[in-house]
Structure 1
Amino acid sequence: MTGYLTPAPPRVLAHRGLAIDLPENTMLAFIAAVDAGARFLETDVHASADGVAVIAHDSSLDRVAGRDVAVERTLWKDLQEIDLGMGARVPGLREALLALPDARWNIDLKSDASVIPAVRAVVEAKAVDRVLLTSFSERRRRQALALLPEVATSPARAVVVRAIAAQRLGLQRQLARLLEPFAALQVPRRHRGVEIVTERSVAAFQRAGVEVHVWTVNDEAEMRELLAMGVDGIVTDRCDLALPLVGG
């Protein structure tokens, strides 16, 4: 496994940076998170029309910039002209990796078009050992891993569902085989009213060889509960609240 999962857990993953009063997924938010003490940054990647990996959660900039601009239909040079607030622009993944060389990045590949540009950006920034690539699409994750076999990954939804089923049925050997390729299992605490993260499930997933990261948790009391269960990571919009709970 790469050096992504260092230092030892528990760890806090700053979800889209620290964007309390700043535009999300921008260098302003990422720098604010690092300044607060975050070592791990969670973010999302699309591709511009000319194949540049860019940091954005949505396929359009409508929510974050009030403009109906489709990221993958817009050239990189034109995306850079759009103000996301406070003078912030859409960051390029390569530039962000280079700008914060000590940070570890949890990168969600949001579209098919983003995979190759994201891999290229990671390689050009010489950041393979400090990124984790993930996606809701197992096909995207596998494509990225084929291009970058040494990179850390976490499973897509289909594998997560199978892992939860194996854990609930007590099939520990099958669970270990299923999760063997992964560095972390990243899940919500509950889904549709069903508890996914419990003290028992956390222990089973960890015995299978992965860290357990829970998203997206912004309540301090809930953070404490999850840490008491033994989770390895908390993905949060409020890294300023979570960091003191894990000792910075």
Structure 2
Amino acid sequence: MSEVSQYIFNGLMLGVIYAMVAVGFTLFFGVLDVIKFSHGDTLMVGAFAGLTASILMMKIGLDSPVLQLLAVVVFAVAVTGLLGAGIAKFLILPLRHAPPLNTLLATLMLGTVMREAVRLFYPDGSNPKPFPALLPTSMVELGGLSLRIDNLILLASGLLAIAGVHLLITRTKLGLAIRAVAQDGETARLMGINFEAVVLITFALGSGLAALAGVMNGLYYYEVNFNVGLLLGVIGFAAAILGGLGNIYGAIIGGFL
């Protein structure tokens, strides 16, 4: 029974990562009815940005795990948030009135460019890179289960991130604006909502959440590689489809399934 419980916990750990990726897909589809196939590669960029932040912190002598973890998360989320907003501004919005296939292919090719750029230009980028162990790795006994504290922290962090997005969407004026744009963009414009700003913020939010998922994946497996976004992107997209594109709660459930 303990082995079954252990497998269930491991499934929850991975499920929360998949759910975070799926929420990004459903946010993008909600506001613009587009499928951003470069989303997984945005996650990969976030993971490599976090790794870079950790390396830089070590080079300047700041080897505190807490400071490194803070720098990793902040830098990864900031880089991918800006990247996501830039993709929306310069690629997706200009193609808004084009056939959906155009946007799909454009983001698919962009993902390939991002993946190959990291492989070619990041130092030794074609090989898996060790990701620093920044969380405590001691064990704790819970109901007959031997669980690593770092996994518990990652699971709690993922759930808190998803809960934070839920509260942002349902309890804030920004969330109301996002829901209005998702419901009817033209009507939202007529009501005085800045359509483009809401789209950019939504893409930054979804991309930042993907970066956090990428960092969590690196902390879980202790490595990151240029193909990580391809796998997580496919799984996250499948979870979003399973839960219903545009349905955040469905995407979350799909991630855990």
Per the normalisation by structure 1, the TM-score is 0.25
Asked which structure has the greater RCO (Cα within 8 Å, sep 6+), the reply is: 2
Greater fraction of residues in helix:
2
Structure number with larger C-alpha Rg: 2
